[in-house]
Every structure is written in C-alpha cells, then in structure tokens.
C-alpha cells in the first residue's frame, strides 16, 4: 500500500511535519473564517451555499448536499434549520445567490492571498501529490473503516 517501511516508529521529523500540518491548516481555517464573517457567513454557510451554487439548477436533495460537503445528515439538518431561523436559505433563493456572490469574491481572494500566493507552482504540485498519497493510503488503510462518518 505504502512505499516506506511499515515497521518502524514515527520519526521526530514526521511528527514535527504532522503537527505543522495540523497547526497551519487550523490557522488557515481561522483566518478564512474571520474573512467570511465580514460578509455575515459562517464557514458552514459558505460550504452549503457553494455546493448549491455548483449543483444543477442550484438545488440538491438533502442527502446529496450532505455527501457533497461530506457532512453527517444530522449536522446538515441542524445547520439548515439555523440558516432558516436567520432568514437565510435552504434551497438557493435570490437571497442565497446574493449571499454567496457577495462572499465568493473576497473569499477567493483570501484563499489566494493566504494560500496560493505563498506557493510556487512546483510547491502546489508537490502538495497535491502528497495529499493524493495520503488519500490513497486512507482508502486502503483506515481501521475505523468506512471512509467517512
């Protein structure tokens, strides 16, 4: 499945990179979340709206939406309820479209600024390759089984 020795312990180096991966992505999520807050959306809101925008006819069945953003059904259900309370959107209405349109420009600029601008094309390739290897390994590995929740 994997290319490196399976039998040895995790090295200091590997552990350090692992922690750095967790810390860095946490920080990125935090900053992007703050960015989105300026247009009154949570990261969850954004994920939901984005998935709907990208779907055919701007609509998805609940379970399809859950799959698209890889959420548990119950989490989605609660979240949609909250969005409704806030006068937000379940299936993309004019308001919903408006919200995501207002958000996506700043959001994408933030992703570029915080992430893409930091990396050379080759680094992007390397990162993509590393993530693909991890993914591939998750598929064949995974004691908890199943893939996701």
Contact positions vs a second copy (CB under 8 A): 1-4, 6, 9-11, 13-18, 20-31, 34-35, 70, 108-121, 123-124, 126-138, 141-144, 148-149
How does DSSP assign 86-128, residue by residue? TT--SS--HHHHHHHHHHHHHHHHHHHHHTGGGS-HHHHHHHH
* Residue 73 interacts with, from a second copy, DNA, none (CB under 5-8 Å by kind): DNA
Alpha carbons within 13 angstroms on the beta-carbon side of residue 66 total 15
For the CB of residue 37, give the shortest distance to DNA in the complex, in Å. Answer: 7
Q: Which is nearer to a second copy, 85 or 120 (CB)?
A: 120
DSSP code of residue 143: T
Q: Which is nearer to DNA, 14 or 27 (CB)?
A: 27
Q: Which is nearer to a second copy, 26 or 62 (CB)?
A: 26
Element spanning 31, H or E: helix 12-37
For the CB of residue 91, give the shortest distance to DNA in the complex, in Å. Answer: 11
Residue 13 to residue 82: CA distance in whole angstroms? 43
C-alpha to C-alpha distances, 108 to 19, 100, 103, 115, nearest whole angstrom = 26, 11, 9, 10
Q: Which is nearer to DNA, 90 or 111 (CB)?
A: 90
For the CB of residue 142, give the shortest distance to DNA in the complex, in Å. Answer: 15
């Amino acid at each position: 499945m994997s290319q490196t020795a399976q039998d040895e312990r995790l090295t200091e180096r590997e552990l350090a990179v692992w922690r750095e991966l967790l810390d860095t992505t946490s920080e990125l999520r935090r900053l992007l979340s703050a960015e989105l807050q300026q247009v009154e959306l949570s990261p969850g809101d954004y994920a939901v709206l984005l998935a709907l925008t990208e779907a055919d006819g701007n609509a998805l069945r609940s379970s399809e939406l859950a799959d698209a953003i890889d959420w548990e059904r119950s989490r989605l259900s609660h979240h949609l309820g909250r969005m409704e309370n806030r006068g937000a959107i379940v299936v993309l209405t004019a308001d919903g479209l408006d919200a995501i349109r207002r958000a996506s420009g700043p959001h994408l600029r933030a992703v570029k600024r915080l992430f893409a601008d930091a990396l050379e094309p080759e680094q992007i390739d390397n990162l993509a390759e590393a993530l693909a290897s991890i993914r591939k390994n998750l598929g064949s590995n995974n004691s908890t089984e199943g893939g996701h929740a």
